């Protein structure tokens, strides 16, 4: 009898609080949207770009209409959901508890995070749109800016400086901010002008420049996705990459 009671007790479903359920939901939406976003990013860079170079001009309108536009719609909205849900989770369940523990507000860390990474993107935006450099030059500029922003955040974040979850996601998620703004600020607007102009029979005069700028932004996102995924995982699985760097 006692054995039966013990077994029955072990089979009772655990209780889940509202906060725990919210965390689970946010994390799953973040992961699923992120898979869609990064998957499409890799598709565009590894498959679509080489493919479109081989396509006859007469075939491009049909491909734009039935493949590129739908893929870009999924691409840009999955990017937005990934970042929005990720920031929600990070702020509410990682930064906020540390702020409460330290007796300070969480706005300072969130503000520093946004300031640093939006500044990185703004510089890259100007470089891509005004200079349109070679990929090697843009890559070097991106590496310097990302390293500088990450170093500043890791060493000067007001809240969570001793919490690897806060600072490693503050670095990886920061790259996600740059990538999101590249999607909505360069990749989508430029492609939209080229595609809609082509479908209307009046492609823009600067189509080649617009395509080049979109390519540079997309290739930047392609390379940033690697350290982004590394630091998102490092928040739980490889903390020494951030903690030992302080």
> Would the pLDDT of 1 be above 70?
no
Burial label for 10, CB within 10 Å (0-12, 13-18, 19+), is exposed
Residues 144-189 pLDDT 10s: 999 999 999 999 999 888 888 899 999 999 999 999 999 999 999 9
Task: Quote the pTM value.
Answer: 0.89
Q: Give the mean pLDDT of 188-198.
A: 95
Cβ(191)–Cβ(137) below 8 Å: no
Side-chain half-sphere of 168: how many Cα atoms within 13 Å?
A: 21
Least trusted range by pLDDT, from 29-33, 103-107, 200-204? 103-107
> Would the pLDDT of 130 be above 90?
yes
Q: 13-19: long-range contacts at Cβ-Cβ below 8 A with a sequence spacing of 24 or more?
A: 19/93
- Predicted confidence band at 236 (pLDDT cuts at 50, 70, 90)? low
> Would the pLDDT of 52 be above 90?
yes
**Does an H or E element contain 100, and which?**
helix 96-102
> Would the pLDDT of 213 be above 70?
yes
Residues 77-114 pLDDT 10s: 999 999 999 999 999 989 998 888 888 888 889 999 99
Of 39, 65, 40, 54, the C-alpha closest to 194 is: 65
């Amino acid at each position: 009898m006692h054995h039966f009671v013990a077994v029955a007790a072990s089979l009772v479903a655990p209780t889940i609080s509202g906060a725990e359920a919210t965390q689970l939901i946010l994390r799953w939406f973040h992961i699923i949207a992120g898979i869609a976003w990064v998957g499409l990013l890799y598709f565009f860079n590894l498959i679509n770009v080489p493919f479109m170079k081989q396509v006859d001009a007469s075939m491009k309108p049909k491909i734009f209409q039935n493949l590129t536009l739908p893929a870009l719609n999924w691409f840009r909205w999955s990017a937005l959901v990934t970042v929005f849900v990720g920031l929600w989770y990070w702020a509410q369940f990682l930064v906020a508890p540390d702020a409460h523990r330290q007796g300070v507000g969480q706005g300072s860390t969130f503000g520093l995070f946004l300031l640093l990474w939006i500044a990185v993107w703004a510089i890259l935006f100007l470089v891509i749109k005004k200079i349109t450099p070679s990929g090697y030059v843009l890559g070097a500029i991106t590496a310097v800016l990302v390293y500088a922003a990450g170093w500043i955040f890791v060493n000067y974040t007001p809240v969570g400086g001793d919490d690897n979850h806060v600072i490693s996601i503050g670095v990886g998620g920061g790259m996600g901010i740059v990538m999101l703004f590249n999607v909505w600020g360069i990749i989508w607007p430029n492609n939209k002008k080229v595609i809609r102009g082509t479908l209307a029979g009046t492609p823009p005069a600067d189509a080649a420049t617009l395509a080049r700028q979109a390519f540079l932004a997309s290739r930047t996102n392609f390379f940033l996705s690697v350290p982004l995924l590394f630091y998102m995982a490092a928040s739980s699985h490889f903390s020494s990459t951030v903690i030992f760097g302080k």
